[in-house]
Amino acid sequence: MTATDDPADPARAEAISAEDVEDALLEGDRTFEPGTARAAFSHPTFRTVYLGAFASNIGTWMQNVVLGALAYNLTRSGLFVGLVIAAQLGPLLAFSVVGGMIADAYDRKRSLMALCIQQAVFSVVLAAVCAPAQPNKALLLLVVLAIGIGNALYAPIFSAVVPILVPRRDLSGAISLNSVQMNASRVIGPFIGASIYAHQGPSWVFLLNALSFGFVILALLRVTLPPPVATGDQGLHRIFEGIEVARTDRVIGQCIAIIFTFSFFCLPFITQLPTIADVNLGIASKSSQYGFLYGCFGFGAVVGALSIGTVFASRSKATLTRVGLVGFAAMISVFGAVRQPAAAYVAIALLGAVYFAVITSLSTVLQEDLDDRVRGKVMALWIMGFGGTVPFGGLAGGALIDHVGVTAVFVVSAVVALVLAWWGDLLPHRPAGRFGIDRGTEALSSAG
């Protein structure tokens, strides 16, 4: 094991050392190429948490897809769809930094379990609110907002936990697999959710989502997580430390800038998919066809994310990010041009593949040399960009659709993706800031 493989803190080193002993007993002399998805999945603690999160996320995506469809069916307004998604994901923009501070300062296992319970309780409340044929729209928005706040606190903590469950040499594989479970749940969840919504109504979907949080709680009960690494910083400075890291480290700063810009300008098609499906393809949002469309997108995203930890495991993630952005521009243009459902299924699958190849590559570049002391706070910025800006981009996209038309959304997305591909130089040719490593020195050492 090289120096870069060793975790920075003794608790993490001890946990991984014990895990390596268990791996040796279970796997014998079997070895996996470092950094691959297979290598990451060979670690028992990671595997347990991963599978629990996968099961829980299926419920989450059942709820997500039904909320968008329900909002559109109630109002036929792209703007109201954007408001519901903003209530659901908007808190990521305001509360993620608090979640990042919690991740780096408090017991992560207890924090995750408490927030799972909070989201489960409000999902039950949401089921009750949506039981009438015409739910109170204001109350619906408030309950979705409460769930969104819990998710905004949960997401940075979970994102900070995943990398410490494997040695640094297997980090890219763990990130790839985490992206896979996020997107495999997008395939399975919409299929199940859309079917239940069409036959039983939305409340049953929300109740099942509440029950799904039990999977991640059970997984957490079975594992021991290393404690956060103390930084010595106190009070409000803890919250803003991630911003300081992004400001002083060129690569981290560019990764954060790209994810904010990409999420706002290039991803409105996700929140506006019910509108796009209806206007461009003649697919009703309350139909199995819509669930299949969403599922094709999720399937493509699974393939794209998995490719980064398998086929492209040894390739430069910085280069893959730029190539992927060009591919995204091409596929968003194709998806915006098709008018037949059969062609749309293929186009959105390819779009999902390049979309999450970009996200997984970019996330790997961000995290591969990140100091564990500030991981939670930096990942909070990532969550803000990846999830928090999407609903506001969706609101802007909804307004653009209402006033100009659907095509304008696709044009803006393609142009911005091309600009980011040109601007986003993530290659390690300059030194990092105080919380990273000297990227230039590392590159020279690797070459030697």
Highest mean pLDDT among 87-96, 272-281, 333-342, 363-372: 333-342
Please answer whether residues 215 and 56 qualify as being in contact, where contact means their C-beta atoms are separated by less than 8 angstroms: yes
The DSSP annotation for 300-359 comes to: HHHHHHHHHHTTTTTS-HHHHHHHHHHHHHHHHHHHHH--SHHHHHHHHHHHHHHHHHHH
Q: Could you report the per-residue pLDDT of 237-267, keeping only the tens digit for each?
A: 566 777 888 888 889 999 999 999 999 999 9
Q: For residue 444, is pLDDT > 50?
A: no
Per the model's pLDDT, the better-predicted residue between 274 and 216 turns out to be 216
pLDDT interval class at 3 (50, 70, 90): very low
Q: For residue 17, is pLDDT > 60?
A: no
Q: For the chain, give the mean pLDDT.
A: 82
User: What number of residues does the chain have?
Assistant: 448
Exposure string over 275-300, b if 16+ CB within 10 A, otherwise e = bbbbbbbebbbbbebbbbbbbbbbbb
Please answer whether residues 111 and 157 qualify as being in contact, where contact means their C-beta atoms are separated by less than 8 angstroms: yes
Would you kindly state where each structural domain of the chain is located, as residue ranges? 31-230+238-447
pLDDT interval class at 231 (50, 70, 90): low
Please answer whether residues 66 and 194 qualify as being in contact, where contact means their C-beta atoms are separated by less than 8 angstroms: yes
Looking at domain 31-230+238-447, which CATH architecture does it have?
Up-down Bundle (1.20)
Task: Identify the pLDDT of residue 237.
Answer: 57
Task: Identify the pLDDT of residue 6.
Answer: 44
Task: Identify the pLDDT of residue 97.
Answer: 83
Task: Identify the pLDDT of residue 146.
Answer: 95
Please answer whether residues 152 and 24 qualify as being in contact, where contact means their C-beta atoms are separated by less than 8 angstroms: no
- Cβ neighbors of 428 (< 8 A, separation 6 or more) are 251, 318, 439, 440, 442, 443
Q: For residue 98, is pLDDT > 70?
A: yes
Model confidence, pTM: 0.73
